[in-house]
Each structure stands twice: as C-alpha cells, then as structure tokens.
Amino acid sequence: MTRPRMRFQQEVIWRCLLYYFKYPLSLRDVADLMADRGVSVHNSTIHRWVVKFGPELEKEFRKHKKPVCTTWFLDETYIKIHGEYKYLFRAVDKHGQTIDFVLRAKRDRKAAMAFLKKAIKGSGSPKAINVDQSKSNIGAIQQLNKYNRPKSNPIKMTKDKYRNNIVEQDHRCIKRKQKISMSFRSLKSAKAIIAGVEIVHMIFKGQSGCLPLINTTPESQFWGLVTI
C-alpha cells in the first residue's frame, strides 16, 4: 500500500481511520479522541485522509480477501447523499460473510447487473441467490442467466424476504455511520467512507487472508494490510 507522506506519522493516520471506519463516531469525535492521546489533528484533515486512503484500503484488502460460499443473499439499501437518495447494493453468503458492495445512483436492473458483475468478478459465480421482491434484482439475475450463463447451469434464484434478514441485518454497520454523519457530503466522499466501513467490517468478520499465521486478530489483520 502507498505510504502517506505527510507531517503526521503513518500510525496516527491509520489509527484515525480505524476509529472512524470501525465505530459510530463523527470526524470531530475522532479528532477529540486523538487530542486526548496528545495528537492535535483537525476533523477536516481526517476527512481528507478518509477520501484519499479509504479506496486504497479497499484495493489492498481485495488482494487478500478470503473465498466465500456460493449461496448469496442480495439486497439494496438507501444512502442519503447531500439530500438525495442513492442506493447501496450488497450481498452476503449464508455464513454472513460479505460478498461485495457497490453504490449506485439508481435502483434499477442496470444497477443490479453492475453489482452482480462486480461481485462475480471478485468472488466467483454463485450457485444460488436469494432476493426479496425487488424487481431490479430479479430482472438482473434473469438477464444474467439468459445471456451470461449456460442454460444447463443457471443461477438458482429464490425470492424469500425472510431469508434475506441475514443481509438486511448486515446493513446496520453502514446505517450507523450514515446516522452519525446525518448525510454524506458528496458521492466521492460517500464512496470512500462506505469502502472504508465495509472493508473494516469484513476484516473484523475474519475475511482478510493477509499473512494469516502472523495476523491472528482483526486488529493485527488491519495493521498488516495498511503497513504492507
């Protein structure tokens, strides 16, 4: 990972980001925590670090992401950005491990298809996907089976909203961050924040395979990624 060349030490930068991405804290809360530890950093500086290094954390994590199960649960949730609603598509497997996520401006079949293609590229093709009654997700899976899958081996689709509780409950991590932030400022910063929150959430689920013999705890897995 690119090491930040700034007046603050690398450990200070990533400590701020870990606090911000892991816990339901505002930027000012993180600045106050660091001040209590003798480090004076402005909340706007932390925000710049979030936008710059959130995507880098995601990029590094994806190199070491552990394999997931082939039974997926797909759902989308709304995210408020500068007063407008956007949509976060997410999927988890039957064990609750995160498959992937993507933020889109609309909740339609095109957006759902973009998510599925990204998820399949990163995690392989699923054998089954459960959705709720979302027409966009249903249409995307049908389109995927029609044009991108052999007829002898389609993705099995089920439509049980109660089985999707596993992914709906998993939305809570990003929902807590949205609540404390009131509303994300821009699409760019929202993508960076969501990337950081999602990746740290995955690390603490044990989904990072970075130097597994050394990094035996979620905290050590995080530090292993950011100090590569």
The per-residue pLDDT for range 82-128, each reduced to its tens digit, is 889 999 999 999 999 999 999 999 999 999 999 999 999 999 999 99
- Supply 207's token pair: 């989904």
Domains in the chain, ordered, with CATH?
Answer: 10-64+182-226 (no CATH), 71-170 (3.30.420.10)
How large is the average pLDDT for residues 18-42? 95
Instruction: Tell me the pairing of strands 128-131 and 71-81.
Output: parallel
Q: What pLDDT, on the 0 to 100 scale, is given for residue 91?
A: 97
In degrees and rounded to multiples of 5, residue 36 shows phi and psi of -65, -20
Tell me the sheet residues that pair with 86.
79
Cα–Cα dist 123/117, whole Å:
10
* Residue 202 one-letter amino acid: M
Q: Are 30 and 16 in contact (CB under 8 A)?
A: yes
Quick one: angle between helices 109-123 and 135-147, nearest 10? 60
Q: What pLDDT, on the 0 to 100 scale, is given for residue 2?
A: 53
- Supply 105's token pair: 């401006």
Which H helix or E strand runs over 222?
A: helix 218-226
Q: Are 195 and 57 in contact (CB under 8 A)?
A: yes
